[in-house]
Copies of this chain bind each other. A is one copy, B any other.
Amino acid sequence: MQFTALQIATLLKGQIQGDPEAKVSHVAKIEEAGDGSLSFVANPKYEEFLYTSKASVIIINDSLELTGPVNPTLIKVKDAYSSFAFLLEKYNEIISRSGKNGIEQPSFVSKTASIGKDVYVGAFAYIGENVMIGDRVQIYPGCYIGDNVVINEDSKVFPGAKIYNGCSLGSRVIIHAGSIIGADGFGFAPQKDGSYKKVPQIGNVIIEDDVEIGANTTIDRATMGATTIRKGVKLDNLIQIAHNVEIGENTVIAAQTGVSGSTKLGKNCVVGGQVGIVGHIQLADGTKVNAQSGLSKSTTAPNTALNGSPAFDYKSSLKSQAIFRNLPELQQRLLKLEETVQILTDMLKEKNGIEEK
């Protein structure tokens, strides 16, 4: 798709300086933009790129005073960053919705399923018994929506995501490709002969509004009750959420982190990548966990920052890590001290006749 500077300026209610017919076909960062690029400058530290940029069109703040000649066509707006973000959203909407409407064939939709208005169901998607799909939901090709699942309006389930029976998704939820919602929790009772017997996992997973879940992430159903992902939570790719976990509102978790069974994270927590959290603990609101940490204890004070495996207070942990690097030197100092003290001891023994300890 191509757009002219004039079309963009009209959309943004901005003023054009340069050729209104300049055409753009893609967006780029100002430092990487070439012919056909639309870019923007909002941060003064990128202003220098304006004068050498090969972009075709650049959006700038109307408060910016140019200090030299500029080749690309400029569009002046009140807030260049917001205007650019607005364009990205519009563009993204066009891209992601284009042609994605209606029920593609072949797909499998149970007769007992209830499908809302303006829904997209891709080819090879499977919609089980008694499923309820809200208005404008998009189910991409190859998804599996198990029996009795509820998906509320404006949610998107990307290709090949699988939602086991009985789970529910709120409104505006995004599930990326390959994620598995509601597989059995990992529960086995050890038997006398060393084998294990499966503990039935008959709960479900409840995902509230405005949650986004990355690709190939797994969220297990509860043994009983629900594994719960609260409103506004953002989970990255390849994350493991075990049975009966609860993730509090607006908590954000980076890729490859694992949360063990029955643990509860508070609101607005920020958890780095590859973190491990043991089962049956609670993290207070606003807990911050550094990447690769291992948490084995609850936090009770809000906004605690943690680091390390096992994790403890963030700042103390950094100090210990710094000394860890210098352990060889520390050991050397200890050895030298032992020698010196031995010399002192020998001297005093000799001179003063100390008894051997």
Interface residues, chain A, with chain B CB atoms under 8 Å away: 27-29, 32, 85, 88-89, 91-92, 95-96, 98-99, 104, 106, 108, 122-124, 126, 129, 140-142, 144, 146-147, 158-160, 162, 164-166, 174, 176-178, 180, 183-184, 186, 188, 194-196, 198-202, 210, 212, 214-216, 218, 220, 224-225, 232, 234, 236-238, 240, 242, 249-250, 252, 254-256, 258, 260, 267-268, 273-274, 276, 278, 291-292, 294, 309-310, 312, 316, 319-321, 323-328, 330-331, 333-334, 337-338, 340-341, 343-345, 347-348, 351-352, 354, 357
Contacts and interface: CB of A to CB of B under 8 A. Distances in A.
B294 A294 contact: no
B323 A328 contact: yes
Contacts of A212: 188, 198
B255 A202 contact: no
Contacts of A180: 160, 176-178, 215-216, 237
A144 B160 contact: yes
Contacts of A319: 327-328
A337 B224 CA distance: 57
A224 B28 contact: yes
B291 A291 contact: no
B338 A333 contact: yes
A10 B140 CA distance: 46
Contacts of A199: 85, 88
A207 to B, nearest CB: 16
* Most B-side CB within 10 Å, residue of A196, A249, A268: A196
Contacts of A129: 99
Given A260-B273, A274-B276, 20 more contacts: A28-B224, A29-B224, A88-B199, A95-B166, A104-B108, A106-B108, A124-B124, A126-B142, A158-B183, A160-B178, A180-B215, A194-B267, A196-B250, A218-B238, A238-B238, A258-B273, A310-B321, A320-B324, A323-B330, A344-B345
Contacts of A338: 333, 337
A258 B146 CA distance: 30
A207 B1 CA distance: 23
